């Protein structure tokens, strides 16, 4: 993929996932922006993501999600909590009980990372955002 960045910088990238690139291209077309603009914004978003989150997504958080996926299998009720890269986990009836457990780990200095998973069917949720939406779209289109 050849990307023309701001200031007419051209960057050649290897190893871009073809399917991902096709999706980016399609979404950029819907938005009326170029792929370069989309990539610039994606890079900007990545840079604005808290460093702790970036590290977590690349490591601990991914392990936590995998552990949660495995441990949640088939369970329909309650709250599953996984912590410390999946080394610890527990099931609770309520979110408050789950938080209490995490607070205990935190207060003893034993909590490195954690993920709370309400059990049941996992659904993707979309939230409409009003304020700031136009601002963001304006930024995307400006490039």
Partner 1 sequence: MSCSESYDEARRPPAPKVAAELENPVTGRGLKTALYLDTGFDGTILLTSDLWEKLELGLAELDEDVYALHGGYLPVRLTPALARVSICGAWRGLVKVYLHPLARRALLGRGIVNRLYAYLAGPEGRLVVSRAPLGPGGPPGARNKCQKPGV
Task: Compute the least distance from the CB of residue 18 to partner 1, in Å.
Answer: 21
Binding to partner 1 by residue 8, rule CB under 8 A? no
Measured at the alpha carbon of residue 140, what is the angle toward residues 137 and 142, in degrees to the nearest 5? 105
What kind and span of H or E run contains 117? Answer: strand 114-118
CA distance 32 to 110: 49
Binding to partner 1 by residue 99, rule CB under 8 A? yes
- At 113 the three-state DSSP class reads coil
Binding to partner 1 by residue 122, rule CB under 8 A? yes
Beta-bridge mates of residue 83: 88, 114
Name residues contacting partner 1, limited to 77-96 (CB under 8 A): 95-96
Task: Compute the least distance from the CB of residue 5 to partner 1, in Å.
Answer: 19
Q: Which is nearer to partner 1, 11 or 53 (CB)?
A: 53
- At 76 the three-state DSSP class reads coil
CA distance 60 to 9: 34
Nearest to 96 by CA among 66, 121, 124, 118: 118
Build a one-symbol-per-residue string for 35-64: x at contacts with partner 1 by CB under 8 A, - elsewhere.
---------xxx-xxxxxx--x----x--x
Task: Compute the least distance from the CB of residue 68 to partner 1, in Å.
Answer: 5
Task: Point out which residues bind partner 1 (CB under 8 A).
Answer: 30-31, 44-46, 48-53, 56, 61, 64-65, 68, 95-96, 99, 102-103, 106, 111, 113-118, 122-137, 140
């Amino acid at each position: 993929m050849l990307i023309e960045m701001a200031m007419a910088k051209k960057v050649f990238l290897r190893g871009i996932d073809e399917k991902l690139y096709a999706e980016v291209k399609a979404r950029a077309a819907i938005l009326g922006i170029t792929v370069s603009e989309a990539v610039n914004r994606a890079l900007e978003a990545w840079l604005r993501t808290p460093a702790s989150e970036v590290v977590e997504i690349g490591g601990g958080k991914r392990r936590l999600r995998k552990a949660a996926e495995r441990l949640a299998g088939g369970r329909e009720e309650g709250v599953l909590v996984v912590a410390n890269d999946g080394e610890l986990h527990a099931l609770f009836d309520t979110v408050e009980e789950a938080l209490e457990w995490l607070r205990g780990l935190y207060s003893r200095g034993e909590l490195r990372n954690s993920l709370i998973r309400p059990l049941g069917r996992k659904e993707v949720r979309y939230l409409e955002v009003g304020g700031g939406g136009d601002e963001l779209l304006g930024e995307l289109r400006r490039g």
